[in-house]
């Protein structure tokens, strides 16, 4: 019985950040199951993920940084989110490292390792967004931090 394969078009990253995280998970899972994506499509997908993660950080850091400097119950949560943003930069570097391994020696085991890393990154991003959403709701009304937080569609 074949493994179920989630539907995904690796060539079509969504604009919405949360949807992009799910897209990353789906194509990474297919890579684990040895989907034979061409290397240029994998490279483009990783580039799209990197643009989205870096764009998310650039859009969110200013208001989260302001919140982390305040007194009160949300400051600690804000510091965790900022720490996640730092970690994701390192994670992107690691994702590229796995891709370079595949591009230098393209075989199933390396592709599966790249796919597993993509799945780990997607899960970390999903958890991170769960941590951010309460802060987004708290700041959805104009506040001293410069108004509502940015929208989730961060890729331009």
Q: Helices in 69-107 by DSSP H: which ranges? A: 75-104
For the chain, domain boundaries: 17-34+49-138
Residue among 13, 9, 45, 37 at smallest CA distance from 118: 45
- Residue 153 pairs in a beta bridge with 16
Residue among 142, 125, 126 at smallest CA distance from 63: 142
| Tokens describing residue 59 | 């859009």
Whether the model clears a pTM of 0.85, i.e. scores above it, the answer is no
Cα–Cα distance, 17 to 19 (Å, whole number):
5
Query: Is the pLDDT assigned to residue 106 strictly greater than 50?
Result: yes
pLDDT tens per residue, range 17-59: 999 999 999 999 999 999 999 999 999 999 999 999 999 999 9
Yes or no: say if 55 and 155 are a contact pair by the CB < 8 Å rule.
yes
* Residue 66 pLDDT: 81
């Amino acid at each position: 019985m074949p493994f179920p394969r989630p539907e995904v078009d690796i060539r079509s990253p969504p604009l919405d950040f949360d949807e992009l995280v799910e897209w990353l998970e789906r194509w990474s899972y297919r890579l684990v199951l040895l989907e034979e994506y061409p290397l240029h499509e994998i490279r483009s997908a990783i580039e799209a993920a990197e643009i989205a993660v870096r764009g998310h950080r650039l859009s969110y850091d200013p208001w989260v940084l302001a919140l982390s400097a305040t007194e009160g119950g949300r400051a600690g949560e804000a510091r965790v989110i900022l720490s996640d943003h730092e970690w994701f930069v390192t994670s992107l570097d690691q994702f590229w490292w796995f891709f370079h391994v595949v591009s230098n020696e393209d075989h199933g085991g390396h592709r599966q390792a790249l796919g597993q890393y993509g799945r780990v990154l997607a899960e970390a991003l999903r958890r991170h967004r769960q941590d951010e959403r309460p802060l987004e709701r708290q700041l959805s009304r104009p506040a001293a931090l410069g108004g509502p937080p940015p929208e989730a569609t961060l890729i331009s």
